[in-house]
Amino acid sequence: MIDIRSAVLSAWEAAWDRGEVDRLDELMTVDFVRESADSGNRTDLAGHKREILEIRAAFPDLSTTIEKLIVDGDDFAIFWSTTGTFTNDLGEVPATGTTVHTRGSNQGVFRDGRIAFERVTWDQRSLLADLGVPSLRAAFESLPDDLVVDDLSGDYSREALKGFNRQFITGVTVVTTTDAEGKPRGLAANSYASVSLDPPLVLICVQKTSSTYPALFHSQHLGINILSTGQRDTLATFSSRDPDKFASVQWHEGPKGSPLLDGSSASIEAEIKERFQAKTHTVFIARVIHAEIADDVPIVYKAGRFFDGASLAEL
Ligand SMILES: Cc1cc2nc3c(=O)[nH]c(=O)nc-3n(C[C@H](O)[C@H](O)[C@H](O)COP(=O)(O)O)c2cc1C
């Protein structure tokens, strides 16, 4: 008669924390079924092993704590929490380097001393939020539909939308970050918007084909610089795909190392909190941690043209 409690703890730890998934053979019946409480999707033992190995490949330092194990006759419940660093891509989702915490519980039944069935409930939403990616269908086929963003396809008149956008007046920013080698990267963007003051959130939309995009996606922080009328050349540089845009500008680092451009009307550094997928673009939501406000007059942008923010007529 095996001690069921220690068998669960040691096989679980071996599989999840060391990748020794075959240890689950000691613990599960050959016809073991694992069911997601959210989606109702079912996997067998081989599928479960594959899932563990895929998750461990993305989070190599994965560490699981079994917080409580309740055994009542043939019924059991396990309450667990997991921590890991998102180091390698998971399916199509690029690694962010962020540390993820998630927790969940498994309820199930034993048959002849082995787990025959378990139903898993885990906090997918907090995990997805930590990953910064709401759509993980490619990585986890079993995600319920309400967690997967709409495919956003549509054929509304491109010209009409362009016409609408041309009536909208904005400033122009340069969004900055550093790449894996520590090299400063950035692009001109007018998609800046303030999301909320409390918490202090801002957003920016960046095209995935931008050469700055991979560095931005992998960054923890970004800089946003509102360009001033003295930075017309800087605007031209950062609207281009010049591989060394920072060679021609003066800049300094924010507290977390994001490049902030000297001579800007204002600059902020912010911690990236969300990366929402919107087809061709990613919407970055970031929490402001630092701001520098200057007197330099901002550039005004409308319908493809730039104007002097000092000569606006008040209504
Ligand atoms: C006024 C203006 C606003 C722009 N806004 C955005 C924007 O919000 N998001 C974006 O991805 N690109 C935007 N762009 C385009 C990028 O700046 C441009 O594609 C740039 O070449 C990208 O550089 P990169 O590929 O080196 O990153 C804008 C360009 C201009 C001139």
Site residues for ligand 1, CB cut-off 6 Å:
172, 187-191, 205-207, 210-212, 239-241, 301
In a domain, 153, yes or no: no
Question: Are 165 and 124 members of one domain?
Answer: no
- Distance, CA 304 to ligand 1 centroid (Å)? 12
Residues 172/306, Cβ–Cβ less than 8 Å? yes
pLDDT of residue 147: 42
CATH number at residue 42: 3.10.450.50
**300 and 171 housed in the same domain:** yes
Kindly report, residue by residue over 35-60, the tens digit of the pLDDT.
988 778 889 999 999 989 998 999 99
pLDDT in tens, 103-128: 889 999 999 889 999 999 875 655 66
Q: Does residue 154 surpass a pLDDT of 70? A: no
Distance 215 CA to ligand 1 centre (A): 15
Same domain (yes/no): 288, 178: yes
**Kind of pairing, strands 193-196 and 201-207?**
antiparallel
Site to probe by mutation for ligand 1, drawn from 162, 173, 187 as the one with most ligand atoms within 8 Å of Cβ, is 187
- Pair 314, 242: CB distance under 8 Å: no
Å from CA of 109 to ligand 1 middle: 56
Q: What is the mean pLDDT of residues 305-312?
A: 97
Round to whole Å and give the CA distance between 239 and 223. 16
Highest mean pLDDT among 53-67, 101-115, 130-144, 254-268: 254-268
| Greater model confidence, 93 or 108 | 108
Least confident of 18-22, 133-137, 179-183: 133-137
Q: Which domain holds residue 203?
A: 158-311
Q: CA 282, 94, 240: angle at the middle one, nearest 5?
A: 50
Domain annotation covers residue 296: yes
Task: Examine the domain organization and report whether 130 and 175 are in the same domain.
Answer: no
Question: Smallest Cα–Cα separation from 272: which of 209, 202, 206?
Answer: 202
Percent of the chain at pLDDT exceeding 70 = 88
CB 296 within 8 A of CB 274: no
Nearest CA to ligand 1 atom 13: 189
Q: Which residue has the tokens 């068998």?
A: 7
pLDDT tens track for 30-40: 999 999 887 78
Mean of the per-residue pLDDT values of the chain: 88
Choose the final residue of a domain: 94, 114, 147.
147
Domain count, the chain: 2
- Do 9 and 140 fall into the same domain? yes
Phi first, then psi, for residue 75 (nearest 5°) are -100, 150
Separation of CA 53 and ligand 1 centre (Å): 39
117: CA distance to ligand 1 center in Å?
Answer: 52
Predicted confidence at residue 136, as pLDDT, reads 41
Contact criterion met (CB below 8 Å) for 202 and 193: yes
Ligand 1 atom index nearest CA of 191: 8
Q: How far is the CA of 296 from the centre of ligand 1 (A)?
A: 22
- Residue 159 structure tokens: 């010209």
163 shares a domain with 134: no
Amino acid at 6: S
Among the listed residues 212, 208, 194, 230, the one whose alpha carbon sits nearest the alpha carbon of residue 275: 208
pLDDT of 130 above 50: yes
235 Cα nearest atom in ligand 1: 31
**Domain at 246, CATH number:** 2.30.110.10
- Substitution candidate for ligand 1 out of 172, 177, 207 with most atoms within 8 A of CB: 207
Report which protein residue has its CA nearest ligand 1's atom 4: 189
> Are residues 203 and 131 part of one domain?
no
Tell me the three-class secondary structure of the chain, residue by residue.
CCCHHHHHHHHHHHHHHHCCHHHHHHCEEEEEEEEECCCCCEEEHHHHHHHHHHHHHHCCCCEEEEEEEEEECCEEEEEEEEEEECCCCECCECCCCCEEEEEEEEEEEEECCEEEEEEEEECHHHHHHHHCCCCCCCCCCCCCHHHCCCCCCCCCCHHHHHHHHHCCCECCEEEEEECCCCCEEEEEECCCEEEECCCCEEEEEEECCCCCHHHHHHCCEEEEEECEHHHHHHHHHHCCCCCCHHHHCCEEECCCCCEEECCCCEEEEEEEEEEEEECCEEEEEEEEEEEEECCCCEEEEECCEEEEHHHCCCC
Distance (Å) from CA 249 to ligand 1 centroid: 17
Quick: pLDDT tens for 286-306. Answer: 999 999 999 999 999 999 999
Q: Which atom of ligand 1 is nearest to the CA of 192?
A: 8
